[in-house]
Amino acid sequence: MIDRAHRDAFLHILGDKGLVEDEGDVAAYETGARYDRGKAALVLRPRTTQEVSAVVAYCVRNGLALVPQSGNTGLVSGSTPDGSGTEIVLSLDRVTQVFELDLDNRSLKAGAGLRLSEVNRRLEEHGLFFPIDLGADPCLGGMVATNTGGSRFLRYGDVRRNTLGLTVVLGDENGTVLELSADLRKNNTGVDWKQLFIGTSGAFGIVTECVLNLEKTPRQAATALLVPKSAAHVMPLLRAMEDRLGVYLSAFEGMSGNAVAAALDHVPSLRNPFQRGVVPPYVILAEISRTWAPREGEQGLDAVLENVLAEIWESEEAPLADAFVGPAHETWALRHALSEGVKHSGRLIAFDLSFRRGQIMAFCERMKTEMPSLFPEVTICDFGHIGDGGVHLNLVVPRDSAAASDADYERRLRDWVFRITVEDFGGSFSAEHAIGRKNQAYYDLYTNPEIKRLAQGLKAITSPGRLGTARFG
């Protein structure tokens, strides 16, 4: 798929282990996490920032298109090649050598190819973790490129909030390396350039190293599954818990009954915690946590949570219909099983949306009201991060239905959902999945022309080469 002279040049830069050419091995880099499949001209696997720089410089000088990829767990076709067979996948999965822990600064400089699970495993003995909680196991580079949020955004924020510095390779003829990796928490000496490369899908440059803020690992936690009286009671419930718990509240995750039922059906080992096994229409997973060990005479968090819930229950216009305080590992096992459960229940058409917190449930209720008449094949399996305004609107159609393989059906459905999201609710069509080929048309449609003009100018300055799948101009 690529000229032999180019192949030999890459072989000289990277060595034998830096090229993937076997068709079976290449397939893993061509196949995305959700249905997308492209065709790569070649897969390159550099080990260091310097090797990334050399590869990028060569590709830009020779007009070759590069698609950066780290963990390949993205859901909007942002890290896989198209079907042309002309794009080269530049995988960061071997950029893992850097792991420099600064305990006093509570920070870590790490290679972009390290997976989140590996980072937290190595930090565990120090009582620290990178506080982005996800059901998937991405690499750090992809987390930066998509500005991942996760289930504990309410307490810790997103990747942007927890990134102190970056090392970036620009897509120019020199493969320019920018060292934006100062591990200072306060540095107001000019433009904060690292922000340009967070959440922009690798279009302006390839992140090879990250300096991350770390947090103390919680040593106490308590969780509960809460059943609100209705959709209108969800936000009063959140406000009541924030008023009473403050920074103790680390998660407030919404889960529709359909999504929970799909998870319980897909993972039989999960315990059904609900009375007589009847799953409520909507459930909230609430977590509170502390970073210190229990102290003598200190009220345990289970008791704290139970007392708070009792106060809310007895308050005027109480928003709670039921509550189940249970072991944290069981509660989170249910939450993390939602994605796979929904995925296995049929053909999935998924959306990652965000709204002002007060409009989340109004949007979800509108979907339930209007969807059946417009798209009767669809089952709505929504869940999300109510505490930060995020909703994963997962729409499932039966695999044996005509809609499951109808590209026009999916396009009409996406157009309708995004129009309501952006035009009627002032929301975002991509809360934390960033821009890939699946979202490109909606970026083009809904982004202000002046913003696109500025983005085009930044792209021309930073990375004029053919870099990434997203077009911001």
129 forms beta bridges with: 215
- Cα–Cα distances (Å) from 51 to 2, 12, 27, 48, 92, in that order, read 20, 11, 23, 5, 11
What tens-digit pLDDT sequence spans the chain (473 residues)?
689 999 999 999 999 999 998 888 999 999 988 788 999 999 999 999 999 999 999 999 999 999 999 999 888 889 999 999 999 999 999 999 999 999 999 999 999 999 999 999 999 999 999 999 887 899 999 999 999 998 999 999 999 999 999 999 999 999 999 999 788 999 898 999 999 999 999 999 999 999 999 999 999 999 999 999 999 999 999 999 999 999 999 999 999 999 999 999 999 999 999 988 999 999 999 999 999 999 999 999 999 999 999 999 998 889 999 999 999 999 999 999 999 999 999 999 999 999 999 999 999 999 999 999 999 999 999 998 999 999 999 999 999 999 988 999 999 999 999 999 999 999 999 998 899 999 999 999 999 999 999 999 999 999 999 999 999 98
DSSP class of residue 181?
A: -
* Predicted pLDDT of residue 156: 95
Given CATH 1.20.120.1200, say whether it is the number of domain 99-216. Answer: no
Integer Cα distance of 385 and 368 in angstroms: 19
Q: What is the pLDDT of residue 2?
A: 84
Report the predicted TM-score, pTM, of the whole model to 2 decimal places: 0.94
Per DSSP, the three-state class of 197 is helix
Report the DSSP beta bridge partners of residue 226: 284, 323
C-alpha to C-alpha distance for 215 and 128, rounded to whole angstroms: 5
Q: Which of 97, 102, 100 is nearest to 114 (CA)?
A: 97
Domain 346-433 falls in which CATH fold?
Answer: Alpha-Beta Plaits (3.30.70)
Query: In this structure, are residues 213 and 106 in contact, taking their beta carbons and an 8 Å threshold?
Result: yes
Q: How far is CA 107 from CA 123, 189, 418, in A?
A: 11, 21, 38
Task: Tell me how long the chain is.
Answer: 473
Question: Per CATH, the architecture of 220-335 is what?
Answer: 2-Layer Sandwich (3.30)
pLDDT at residue number 317: 85
Residue with tokens 């296995």: 344
Q: What is the pLDDT of residue 472?
A: 92
DSSP string, 114-174: -BHHHHHHHHGGGTEE-----SS--BHHHHHHHT---TTHHHH--TGGGEEEEEEE-SSTT
DSSP structure string for 238-305 = HHHHHHHHGGGEEEEEEEEHHHHHHHHHH-TTS---SGGG---SEEEEEEEEESS---TTPPPHHHHH
Q: E strand or H helix at 37, and its extent?
A: none
Domain 346-433 in the same topology as domain 220-335 = yes
Q: Which two tokens stand for residue 113?
A: 């190819």
Distance CA 106, CA 447 (A): 38
Q: For residue 397, give both structure tokens.
A: 């159609």
Side-chain half-sphere CA neighbours of 101 within 13 A: 14
* Listed residue (75, 215, 91) closest to 148, CA to CA: 75
Residue ranges of the domains in the chain?
Answer: 99-216, 220-335, 346-433
Nearest CA to 338 out of 378, 384, 278, 379 is that of 384
Helix and strand counts by DSSP (H, E) for the chain: 15, 19
